[in-house]
Amino acid sequence: MNHDGKMTDVFPSTIHETIAGLQGILADSRIMETGGRVSEEIVRACQKGRKVLLCGNGGSAADAQHIAAELSGRFFFDRQPLFAEALHVNTSYLTAVANDYSYEEIFARLIRAQGRSGDVLIALSTSGNSKNILRALEEANAAGMVTVGFTGQGPNAMEMLCDYLLAVPSKVTPRIQECHIILGHIICEIVESRLFTVHKPAIFLDRDGVINKKMDGRDYVTKWSQFSFLPGVFEAIKLFNDHGYLVIVVTNQQCIGKEIVPAETIRTIHERMAKSIEENGAHVDGVYMCPHLAADECSCRKPGTGLFETALRDFRRRGISIDMTKSYMIGDSETDIIAGKKAGLYALQIARNYSPQDCPDGTGILETAQRIVGSNKTRRTAT
């Protein structure tokens, strides 16, 4: 609250408090390593036909149900369901056992009935001392389940009962819960990706000088009328399409950072480029651009690898894992080649603004596409 008695100051202070908690997680490699190991345990359990059970009280019960829904429904893309269930959802059972036995037994009794060796229990308690959560962990350990605890800053009683502990460095209950659901979401993304993504190779293409004619001097393509496709582009992209490659454009466009043209105009040019390619029997699967100045030293501007990393993340969330070891970067500059190699790709440099008349000894995109497809056929035949 500020000196005028307004409550609006609560918003930034609370958001900063949440950010501090997330930064604490980011700074603790043990938490991220543990999260990775938990993800792999869930993957192994699901591959063996096992299940994931979750439990918590109050807000943690809501988080347990939320994470179960992400696993049993879908997270980013359509796929087969996973067996994941929160243990508090049957209210008749919950009230009966709480009344006839005790509230401490509500989760433990269900685990005794449902838990099997190799299943995973995710138990959430911000304090780490909730008695029914501790009893659930004891019963799960006795059943041979993999036990995972989500809690806050210790020490607490959960620590000795979990195979894996994700302890948020905070003692503030709402902040702990906010971090719990973020950790849960990350685990769900990893599990979904590991179990269900399809692996594909990709061709990453620079734009200016490779797909379209690069403007003279320091000029930029700022409107569609200036965009001129180079010879062989449609045929090359279709060849890649037909041989199972994703085709992704990665382009530096610092004309946006220089305020020569707005980003929306460049996006419109890219939409029309993609439409023209489709009208000529081929297609591109994605276009990624860096709008920053070279002086900004951003990670996305080539020779940085940020555009490739963003593409990897986006396609993974669509259920496609790009196999970088079988993928290529095609560009017309040393910057493109350096970026491609840093990203772990085969990198091939072609003649800028290639045309058979002007570059009789040069290599254009179609010749390069034929070479890539041909070399892959040779490798497959050899194996």
Residue 377 has a pLDDT of 59
Read out DSSP for 105-118?
A: GHHHHHHHHH--TT
Q: For residues 108 and 105, give the distance between their C-alpha atoms in angstroms, rounded to a whole number.
A: 5
Task: Read off the amino acid at residue 56.
Answer: G
Q: What is the reported pLDDT for 374?
A: 86
Q: Is residue 383 very low, low, confident or very high in pLDDT (cuts 50, 70, 90)?
A: very low
Q: Give the pLDDT confidence score for residue 360 in this predicted structure.
A: 54
> Where exactly are the structural domains of the chain?
27-196, 198-378
Average pLDDT, the chain: 93
The answer to whether residues 343 and 312 touch, using CB atoms and an 8 Å cutoff, is: no
* Alpha carbon distance 202, 205 (integer Å): 10
Paired with 119 in beta bridges are none
Q: Cα 4 to the chain's mean position, in Å?
A: 43
| pLDDT confidence tier of residue 89, bands split at 50, 70 and 90 | very high
Q: Cis peptide before 303, with omega less than 30 degrees from 0? A: yes
**pLDDT category, 137, cuts 50, 70, 90?**
very high
Domain 27-196 adopts which CATH fold?
Rossmann fold (3.40.50)
- Reference 141, options 112, 104, 101, 165; nearest CA is 112
Residue 1 or 221, more confident: 221
Confidence of residue 379 (pLDDT cuts 50, 70, 90): low
Residues sharing a CB contact under 8 Å with residue 86, sequence separation 6 or more, in sequence order: 53, 54, 55, 56, 61, 64, 65, 67, 68
**Does 198-378 carry CATH code 3.30.390.50?**
no
Q: Does 281 have pLDDT greater than 90?
A: yes
Using DSSP's 3-state secondary structure scheme, residue 244 falls into: coil
∠ CA 189-193-198, nearest 5°, is: 155
CA 3 from centroid of its chain's CA atoms = 43
| Cβ–Cβ under 8 Å, residues 201 and 245 | yes
Q: Indicate if 198-378 has the same CATH topology as 27-196.
A: yes
For range 120-136, the mean pLDDT: 98
Q: Identify the pLDDT of residue 216.
A: 84
For residue 378, the model assigns a pLDDT of 56
Q: Is 285 helix (H, G, I), strand (E, B) or coil?
A: coil
Structure tokens at 347: 């990198």
Go through the chain and tell me how many residues it has.
383
Based on DSSP, count helices (H) and strands (E) in the chain, helices before strands.
13, 12
Per-residue pLDDT, 356: 64
For 28-77, the pLDDT digits (tens) are 999 999 999 999 999 999 999 999 999 999 999 999 999 999 999 999 99
Report the percentage of the chain scoring pLDDT > 70.
94
**Over pLDDT 90: what percentage of the chain?**
89
Tokens linked to 106:
């509500």
Strand partners of residue 198? 320
- How confident is the model at residue 355, as a pLDDT? 67
Averaged pLDDT for residues 1-5: 53
> Residue for token digits 């780490």?
128
Mean pLDDT (whole number) for 277-305: 97
Task: Give the pLDDT confidence score for residue 351 in this predicted structure.
Answer: 85
Are 56 and 125 in contact, with CB atoms under 8 Å apart?
yes
